[in-house]
Structure 1
Amino acid sequence: MERKWKLGIDLGTYDNLLDGFTFDDLILAVRCNNKVVDAAAVMKEAQRILDQRLEDMHFLIENNMMEIIEEAPNS
């Protein structure tokens, strides 16, 4: 079954909107995506990971906007 990414269907209010990332995630990204490993490569990969997480968060908010608006007064 394909996920719908909707509150009340396959997401709960306790689910994260913004997933984190670990040092391991960053180290692996730097190792796999860069010929030269330096401070610029580390910062580039950290920003790339963060940008992707923010894009995912924005999708989740937009996909659930009505559910969020409906739930907010009841909280």
Structure 2
Amino acid sequence: MRVVVDLTRCQGYAQCVFLAPDVFRLHGEESLLYTPAVADDQLDRVRQAVAACPVQAILLGDEVSTGGR
């Protein structure tokens, strides 16, 4: 499964980092880094991170290929 973060929309709340630390991480105080290819064993955590993002900056799976929600 693929994940993409719209970094222009991301405000650095870091909810995704706490929910899926193997996929999302902070570099410094505000720079978000992430792994675009999500392993199957991380999907539940990533789905929780997508739902928790207050600015809806994370796209997962089919949303990535269609470019929208």
TM class by shorter chain equals under 0.3
Between 1 and 2, higher relative CO (CA 8 Å, sep ≥ 6) is seen in 2
Q: With the length of structure 1 as denominator, give the TM-score of the two structures.
A: 0.26
Larger radius of gyration: 1
More helix by share: 1
Judging by fraction of residues, say which structure has more strand: 2
